[in-house]
Amino acid sequence: MFGSLLPAAEEYVRLLADAGVAKGLLGPREVPRLWDRHVLNCAAIAELVPRPATLVDLGSGAGLPGVVLALLLPDVEVTLLERMERRVAFLQDCVRMLGLPNATVRCARAEDLAGKLLADVVTARAVAPMERLAGMALGLVRPGGLVLAIKGTGASSEMAKARPVLRRLGVRDATVLRVGGGKVDPAATVVRLIAGDH
């Protein structure tokens, strides 16, 4: 999946296991599962990102999926959007140490950048329930753009609950997808929203 980028991906996993845990971005119990549960799960959504593109990773946290996508997709301009300063510092270290010229870190809340920062794609993982996440993400995506939210097994019920909100926000299409089958076990579950024309 990473091919020649495997050494950089391994370096990122080392950063997550060391500084990521030390700074409280991940729990120590997550370390044995960093590859399969976190990094490969995020890498699986790369196939859904159009290229070239601009991408905002909303609530980037430890850089999942933003850092992984910046590694895999050098022709995608990635903005790692995070409001907590200690996480921002970690993300800046990752961008510098992994040499990611296509990634920038912004310390801000999504609500404050709505309508000002518009990308082709907005990604999110473990940020908020779909009802809340949709409003935040759609404020950052251009008309007709994509929101890709990595979700767990409850994605379909979360989506059903969010339907009235998605309709109100003018979402053109909302689909639950399974990606990375055959490469990632289990396959990643992603909610894909296509933004309306505002």
Which CATH number goes with the domain that contains 67? 3.40.50.150
- The predicted model scores a pTM of 0.95
What gap in Å lies between CA 81 and CA 87, rounded to an integer? 10
Tens place of pLDDT for every residue, the chain, 198 residues? 888 999 999 999 999 999 999 999 999 999 988 998 889 989 999 999 999 999 999 999 999 999 999 999 999 999 999 999 999 999 999 999 999 999 999 999 999 999 899 999 999 998 888 889 999 999 999 999 999 999 988 898 889 899 999 999 999 999 999 988 878 878 889 999 999 986
Q: Please state the φ and ψ torsions of residue 122, each to the nearest 5 degrees.
A: -120, 130
Q: How many domains does the chain have?
A: 1
pLDDT, position 184? 81
Phi, psi angles (nearest 5°) of residue 76? -115, 130
Give the chain's length.
198
Q: What is the pLDDT of residue 89?
A: 96
Look up the domain containing 30 and give its range. 3-194
Asked whether the bond before 143 is cis by omega within 30 degrees of 0, the reply is no
> What's the confidence (pLDDT) of residue 42?
94
Distance, in Å, from the CA atom of 71 to the CA atom of 74, rounded to the nearest integer, reads: 6
* pLDDT at 198 (0 to 100): 61
Task: Please name the residue ranges forming H helices in 99-179.
Answer: 110-113, 130-138, 155-168
CB 9 within 8 Å of CB 34 = no
pLDDT tens track for 145-167: 999 999 988 898 889 899 999 99
